[in-house]
Amino acid sequence: MNIGVLGAGQLGRMLALAGYPLANRFTFLDTTGHPSAGIGEVLIDTDRRHLDAFLAKVDLVTYEFEHLPVELVSAIEEVKPVYPSSEAIRVCQNRAGEKALFDRLGIPTPAYRLVESAAELEAAAHELGCPVVAKSVTEGYDGKGQAVLRDPSEAQEAWRSIGHPRLIVESFIDFVREVSIIAVRGRDGEVVFYPMAENVHVDGILRYSIAPMPDLDDSVQLTADGYIRALLDELDYVGVLTLELFQARDGSLLANEMAPRVHNSGHWSMDGAVTSQFENHLRAIQGLPLGDTRARMPTCMINVIGREGDPAAILAIADAHLHRYDKSERLGRKLGHVNLLAPTHAELLDKVRTCVALLPGAPAPRFSFE
C-alpha cells in the first residue's frame, strides 16, 4: 500500500515512521518548496505539474495539513480515495462554518459573533463584553491573524491589524485549562477515543501536553467523547480528528477549534499509549482494525522549539523519548519533542522540570492541577 501524503513536514514524517511497520510506503506532495519529512519519496510541486505523477504512484491519499485548496482535494477525490474527505477540510478552513457545525450538533462554544467591518467589531465587543478575541474566519495557525480587544474602542486598530474582511469575535473565556480530545474513526464507522490531554500554550504555540490528566472526571471525558463522536459521524469522517476545548471553572467544556489530522497534542501517544495516533490514523484510512488508545503511564510531551538543547542530556532522563524532526534551528520553529513517562504525575512533573532546564528558552510549565 503506497500512501500519498499532502504536505511533507514533521507530521508526515511521523506518519511514515508509524507506517513502515505496516508495510506501507509513502509519497509526499510538497507545495511549499521546503519539505522537511526527510523520509519516503518527496515530490516538490510548487507549480502543480507533479500532481498526476503523485496520483499515479499512490493507492490512497491523506494529508498532514488542512490549509489546502479545497478544490485541489476535491479534484484528487475524483481519482483516488482521500481520507479524511475534502468536506472535513472545507469545514475546518472556515471558523464560521466550524462554529455553525458545533452549534448544529449541540457542542457548546464560547459566545461569538461574525463581523464584516470595524463598526460591527466594535458593536460585537460591546455586546459580548470585553475582553474579546477577534480572529479571521480563514487560515490562522499558531495564533496568527488574531487580536485581543480589552475595550470596544480598540476595534479600529484590531480590524486593521488582522486585515481580513470577515472576522469571528469570541467571548474571552475564563478557562481553567486548555484541553484536547483526539479520536479515530475507521472506514466501518468504528470510533476509539484517546484520553484527553491538558495543553499549555505560550504565545499561541503549544509547549506541553500531558495525558491522562490526574484530576479529570470520567464524566468530562465521556462528554468530550460525545462531542467528537458527533463530529466524526456527521462528517462520515475516516482517520484521526482533534478537537481543542476550554475547560471552565465549573468543569464544563467549550469547543475552540478542530483539526482534521494527527495533532501536536497527541504526540504523547507515540510512547505513552498502546497505539500511537499516527498508527491509528494509518489503520483507519486503510480499513484496518483500530488499536487500543489507552495510556500506558502518565505522559508529558514537551515541544522542542527554536533550539535543540542538549539531546544527550535529554536522553539521560529515564523513560525519556526524543523525537527530532531533523530540521535546522530557527526562532519559533518546532524542531522535535520529548515524551516523558512516569508511574505517577508527581514523578512526571519532576522529570518535566529536569527536561525543561535542558531546553534553552523553554518557559516553565504550569499545569492546572499543580
| CA–CA gap between residue 191 and residue 229 (Å, rounded) | 7
Per CB under 8 A, the list member of 226, 311, 347, 350 interacting with its own copies is 311
Q: Which is nearer to its own copies, 37 or 181 (CB)?
A: 37
Residues facing 336 on adjacent strands: 304, 324
| CA–CA gap between residue 115 and residue 122 (Å, rounded) | 9
| CA–CA gap between residue 208 and residue 65 (Å, rounded) | 21
As measured in angstroms, the least distance from the Cβ of 280 to its own copies is: 10
Give yes or no for residue 23 binding its own copies (CB under 8 A). yes
Q: Which is nearer to its own copies, 97 or 311 (CB)?
A: 311
Give yes or no for residue 38 binding its own copies (CB under 8 A). yes
Q: How many CB atoms lie within 10 A of CB 71?
A: 10
As measured in angstroms, the least distance from the Cβ of 199 to its own copies is: 22
As measured in angstroms, the least distance from the Cβ of 296 to its own copies is: 6
Per CB under 8 A, the list member of 315, 346, 357, 364 interacting with its own copies is 315
* Residue 270 near residue 279 (C-beta atoms within 8 A): no
Site for its own copies in 331-350 (CB under 8 A): 336, 341
CA of residue 297 relative to chain centroid, distance:
22
Site for its own copies in 52-91 (CB under 8 A): none
Give yes or no for residue 188 binding its own copies (CB under 8 A). no
Give yes or no for residue 22 binding its own copies (CB under 8 A). yes
Q: How many CB atoms lie within 10 A of CB 328?
A: 8
Q: Which is nearer to its own copies, 103 or 292 (CB)?
A: 292
Task: Supply angle C-alpha 17, 206, 258, rounded to 5.
Answer: 80
CA of residue 233 relative to chain centroid, distance:
19
Q: Which residue has the cell 466524526?
A: 232
Show the binding pattern over residues 276-305: x = contacts its own copies (CB under 8 A), - = does not. Answer: -------x---xxx-xx---x---------
As measured in angstroms, the least distance from the Cβ of 113 to its own copies is: 44
Question: Residue 273 phi/psi, 5° resolution?
Answer: -115, 160
As measured in angstroms, the least distance from the Cβ of 156 to its own copies is: 47
Cα separations in angstroms, 17 against 13, 175, 207, 292: 6, 36, 23, 19
Q: Which is nearer to its own copies, 20 or 141 (CB)?
A: 20
Please identify, among the stretches 18-26, 126-134, 159-167, 228-236, the one whose residues bind its own copies according to the rule CB under 8 A. 18-26
As measured in angstroms, the least distance from the Cβ of 188 to its own copies is: 11
Burial letters 143-172, b for 16+ CB under 10 A, else e: eebbbebeebebbeebbeebeeeebbbbbe
In 3D space, the residue among 128, 111, 131, 109 whose CA is nearest the CA of residue 120 turns out to be: 128
Q: Which is nearer to its own copies, 145 or 309 (CB)?
A: 309
Annotated binding site for ATP, which residues?
A: 95, 135, 140-146, 170-173, 178, 201, 256-257
Give yes or no for residue 39 binding its own copies (CB under 8 A). yes
As measured in angstroms, the least distance from the Cβ of 72 to its own copies is: 29
Non-local (6+) Cβ contacts of 224 within 8 A are 179, 181, 193, 196, 243, 245, 253
Q: Which is nearer to its own copies, 43 or 158 (CB)?
A: 43
Q: Which is nearer to its own copies, 120 or 319 (CB)?
A: 319
* Residue 269 near residue 291 (C-beta atoms within 8 A): no
As measured in angstroms, the least distance from the Cβ of 161 to its own copies is: 37
Q: Which is nearer to its own copies, 17 or 162 (CB)?
A: 17
Binding site for its own copies (CB under 8 A): 13, 17, 20-23, 25, 38-39, 274, 283, 287-289, 291-292, 296, 311-312, 315-316, 318-319, 321-326, 336, 341
